[in-house]
Amino acid sequence: MTEAPRHRGDYGIDGSFHRVPLGGQLAALAIGCAALAIYGGIALARGPLWAGAAALVLDAAVLVQVGLYWHATRSGKFAVWDDVLDGLRLRGDETLLDMGCGRGAVLCAAAKRLPDGRAIGVDLWQADQTDNSADATRANAALEGIADRIEVRTGDMTALPLPDASVDVVVSNLAIHNIGSREGRRRALAEAARVLRPGGRLAIADLWEIRHHAAQLREIGWRDVAWHNLGWRMWYGGPWTSTRLVTATKPG
């Protein structure tokens, strides 16, 4: 494992902020944890003891989950994706596509490995990260010193704005699960297959349906299809929200 390069951009917080913004979610969490702590302290002092102990244990469990989530979104995903990108053994002259690139955490990490290539990011810029926008992604690329290597496009993963067989590598991080239907998620994977050149490689990390993605790739005859759990560094709260990775190679 290589040492993770230090990143200079601001890549926000991963999460769903469509209905309740991050500030509202943090406020509700703080109020809930404070209420549990106060109730637990009172119950331990006045009884019943079991209720106080249970409240404090629950409070601690919530805080541990928050800590794991924060680590995954602010630190863990960067280290994991450095390992994933190292595993792709990029030559440095490829064209790489990041589906659902968000603020560019994976896009920029990939572009650093492409001194003679380019990295294309496609996203709809919805509220799946804090302050998600194409301008934020471009700003991060500038901070990382690789703005000349990236291209940012607004587009739908189920209808990628790219021609057939136009990229060498497709990556995606925690994006495809945001598509509401299984058929839509299958179309996104089919689009990744369409834009990849023969012999191209794919690496998709997500919270669920990775086994379905692997099965779909085997159905269309892809080689070296494999998937695995990425481990605690990408636990978004605990092992029940762990991230898995599928990798495969398009037939030549």
Q: Is 134 helix (H, G, I), strand (E, B) or coil?
A: helix
pLDDT score of 75? 94
Residue 164 phi/psi, 5-degree rounding, is -60, 145
pLDDT score of 130? 87
pLDDT score of 90? 97
Counting as low any pLDDT under 70, the low residues of the chain are: 1-5
Q: What is the tens place of the pLDDT at every residue in 84-122?
A: 999 999 999 999 999 999 999 999 999 999 999 999 999
pLDDT score of 131? 87
pLDDT score of 169? 98
Query: CB-based contacts of 16: which residues, under 8 Å, 6+ apart?
Result: 127, 128
Distances (CA, A) of 103 to 18, 120, 152, 178: 16, 13, 10, 16
Question: How many whole angstroms separate alpha carbon 169 and alpha carbon 84?
Answer: 12
For the record, the structure tokens of 235 come out as: 């636990």
**Average predicted confidence (pLDDT) for the chain:** 94
Residue 95 phi/psi, 5-degree rounding, is -100, 120
Question: How many whole angstroms separate alpha carbon 5 and alpha carbon 242?
Answer: 23
For the record, the structure tokens of 99 come out as: 């589906």
Concatenated DSSP letters for 58-112?
HHHHHHHHHHHHHHIIIIIHHHHHHHHHHHHT--S--EEEEET-TTSHHHHHHHT
Question: How many whole angstroms separate alpha carbon 146 and alpha carbon 75?
Answer: 20
pLDDT score of 1? 35
What number does CATH give the domain 77-249? Answer: 3.40.50.150
What are the residue boundaries of the structural domains of the chain, listed by start?
A: 22-69, 77-249
The residue to which tokens 């589906």 are assigned: 99
Amino acid at 215: A
Q: What is the tens place of the pLDDT at every residue in 4-14?
A: 457 889 999 99
pLDDT score of 167? 98
Neighbours of 11 (CB within 10 A): 22
pLDDT score of 4? 41
Q: For the purposes of burial, counting CB atoms within 10 Å of the CB of 219, is it exposed (0-12), middle (13-18) or buried (19 or more)?
A: exposed
